[in-house]
Amino acid sequence: MIRLSDVSLRIGNGPNWPGRTRFLGRAAQRREVLQGVSFTVPAGAFRWLLGASGAGKSSLLRVLQLGAMPTTGEFELFGTSVQRAPRRQLVRLRRRMGVVFQDLRLLPELSVFDNVALPMRLAQIAEPRVQAEVSEMLNWIGLGRRLLARPGELSGGEQQRAAIARAVVLRPPLLLADEPTGSLDAPQALRLMELLMELNQLGSTVIVATHNDHLVRHFQAPSLRLDRGRLVEDGARAVLVP
């Protein structure tokens, strides 16, 4: 399902050649946010992605959601080598995953219904099916009465659920969530995690980045822990990297 082998990621504006900062100054500085990350996540698994702020959780999720290409290393997703895949195939891979962004990224000018329907419409699914399945999804997630509301009219918890509904409406085999409970109180966070666990039990591979230790203790699952861009713990392998 997911296999990373010695993956690193550098970010910054400058080019990637030796001695660049000597000629181009600070503008050419590139920071390595992931270094030599290797792990495998089988289909249907659940993983916590842990680490302090700035440890590289969001950067790793960005790589996993194909928002950034690894600078070095090998990344295989659904059996496809991501770096070697043609652009069109990356689109197909993206449609097989759902992402809950840390900042939710609901489009403010669209209704809750249209926000959730967006992945289905992008996948060119027939409109009657979109109508039926989005309604069912919103009912399941408890937003059945807020179909036509704009995201700005929803509470933080409702927005969070709408973002999750958009991520799972296509029943993706992979769900990535970046701090999905960040703006929620404890009961709402627990309810949300129950939803994600339910999705995992329905067959989706789920990776959740969080720094909420309470949730991690409450929902026991293997974890991947990052520290300053390095993977220091792979719960499934119980390997510690100093």
Positions that interact with another protein (CB under 8 A): 65-69, 87-88, 90-92, 94-95, 99, 105, 107, 109-111, 113-115, 117-119, 121-123, 127-128, 130-131, 135, 144-148, 166
Judged by beta carbon, residue 144 or residue 203, the one nearer another protein is 144
Judged by beta carbon, residue 50 or residue 180, the one nearer another protein is 180
From residue 36, how far is each of 81, 85, 187 by CA, in Å? 17, 21, 37
Shortest approach of another protein to residue 118 CB, angstroms?
A: 5
Q: Give the DSSP letter of residue 153.
A: G
Cα 61 to Cα 68: distance, rounded to the nearest angstrom: 9
Judged by beta carbon, residue 92 or residue 218, the one nearer another protein is 92
Q: Give the DSSP letter of residue 228.
A: T
Shortest approach of another protein to residue 184 CB, angstroms?
A: 21
Judged by beta carbon, residue 48 or residue 113, the one nearer another protein is 113
Of the CA atoms within 13 Å of residue 36, those in its CB half-sphere come to 5
Sheet holding 2-11, edge to edge: 31-41, 2-11, 72-77, 80-81
Cα 96 to Cα 206: distance, rounded to the nearest angstrom: 13
Judged by beta carbon, residue 49 or residue 215, the one nearer another protein is 49
Judged by beta carbon, residue 49 or residue 120, the one nearer another protein is 120
For helices 127-140 and 112-122, give the axis angle rounded to 10 degrees.
130
Shortest approach of another protein to residue 162 CB, angstroms?
A: 14
Shortest approach of another protein to residue 214 CB, angstroms?
A: 29
Cα 141 to Cα 162: distance, rounded to the nearest angstrom: 8
Shortest approach of another protein to residue 210 CB, angstroms?
A: 20
Angle at 177 between CA 157 and CA 115, to 5 degrees: 60
Shortest approach of another protein to residue 80 CB, angstroms?
A: 14
